[in-house]
Structure 1
Amino acid sequence: MGDDLTVEVREAGAADVETATGLFLGYLDFYGVPAARDPQGAREFLARRIGKGESLVLLADVPGAGTVGFAQVYRAFSSLTLGTAWILNDLYVAPSGRRTGAGRALLREVLRRAREEGVTGVQLETAYDNRVAQGLYESEGFVREEFHVYFHDFGRS
């Protein structure tokens, strides 16, 4: 595994939308989301989140490989903790950046910023069969909750 000290993590701004969109499309494709077939829609979605400050988007740069990963965090309120929590909604590393430490560096930066901002915790979800991601999250202190996640789909794409 790579050493995350060689990975630079930075916050994405308007100038990074194209780069972030390429990674976002890879993420959507990884999860089989039809939006991956609509690059312009995905770009507009991401540009709005970044432009309005509605999400925190981080990018991971690896020397010699370029920008290989991204994370997107949404701020939320937690009734159970009476505070602010973060939802790490998206974390993705392109195949060319895997095993470089980019995923771990992104995750650690999210946690660092969350602590700095005084949030009560960081929540995330991943696929049941995504064992690599589960191993990463658990190695960084995430604990599997005993809650069931439900979703009511209104059929919008």
Structure 2
Amino acid sequence: MEIRRAAPDDLQGLVPLFDRYRQFYGRPSDEAAARRFLGERMARGQSVILLALDAGRAVGFVQLYPSFSSVRAAATFILNDLYVEPGRRRGGTGARLVEAAAALARETGAAGLSLVTGVDNLAAQTLYERLGWTRETRFLEYGLDLATSPP
């Protein structure tokens, strides 16, 4: 298996994976939106996508968004998306993607990585904790959905 940074030429294999990732989180299938979104992130340099390939076929990805920690006065990355094809899960692909993300962050001098996962996504939680990630207990996470909240 090969893990490498995705390029615009990889969109054909990446888009179906990203579409299935979104479906996992309850969104309807929309490959056109997936292609547009990923293409824009790549073109604008707004994310880093690492792609897992087996015999040249895309089988998983991780997407990182550059960010910053004001308290640490340092660059960080948000591990926002991790997806592995169902038939490839529990075979090490997810671990290799997360490890590659950590290596990339270290190489760029980032101070850390952060992520959020579903409270019911026990498989992901187990993976992250096995790889040395620690569960945050000092802070609460909040969100504001601008599409549904009053102005």
What is the aligned partner in structure 2 of residue 3 from structure 1?
Answer: none
- Choose from 5, 19, 24 the match for 1:25: 19
What is the aligned partner in structure 1 of residue 47 from structure 2?
Answer: 55
Are the aligned partners of 1:85 and 1:120 in contact in 2 as well (CA < 8 Å)? yes
- Choose from 15, 19, 31 the match for 2:9: 15
What is the aligned partner in structure 2 of residue 42 from structure 1?
Answer: 34
Bigger RCO (CA 8 Å, 6+ sep): 1
Are the aligned partners of 1:62 and 1:100 in contact in 2 as well (CA < 8 Å)? no
Name the TM-score, length of structure 1 as normaliser: 0.88
Are the aligned partners of 2:63 and 2:82 in contact in 1 as well (CA < 8 Å)? yes
Query: What are the equivalent positions in structure 2 for 1:1-157 lying under 5 Å apart?
Result: 7-33=1-27, 36-63=28-55, 66-146=57-137, 147-155=139-147
Are the aligned partners of 1:9 and 1:106 in contact in 2 as well (CA < 8 Å)? yes
Aligned-residue offset at 1:81: 0.8
Aligned-residue offset at 1:100: 2.2
Query: Given residue 4 of structure 2, which amino acid in structure 1 is its aligned partner?
Result: R
Question: Within 2, Cα distance between the matches of 1:86 and 1:128?
Answer: 21
Structure 2 counterpart SS, 1:37: coil
Query: Given residue 112 of structure 1, which amino acid in structure 2 is its aligned partner?
Result: A
Are the aligned partners of 1:23 and 1:94 in contact in 2 as well (CA < 8 Å)? yes
Query: Given residue 111 of structure 2, which amino acid in structure 1 is its aligned partner?
Result: T
Question: Within 2, Cα distance between the matches of 1:114 and 1:150?
Answer: 25
Query: Given residue 40 of structure 1, which amino acid in structure 2 is its aligned partner?
Result: A
Aligned length: 147
Structure 2 counterpart SS, 1:41: helix
- CA RMSD between the two structures: 1.4
Deviations 1:46-76 (A, max 9, x none): 011112211000111134x931101100000
Query: Given residue 32 of structure 1, which amino acid in structure 2 is its aligned partner?
Result: G
Are the aligned partners of 2:13 and 2:57 in contact in 1 as well (CA < 8 Å)? no
Question: Within 2, Cα distance between the matches of 1:111 and 1:104?
Answer: 11
Are the aligned partners of 2:51 and 2:58 in contact in 1 as well (CA < 8 Å)? yes
Name the TM-score, length of structure 2 as normaliser: 0.92
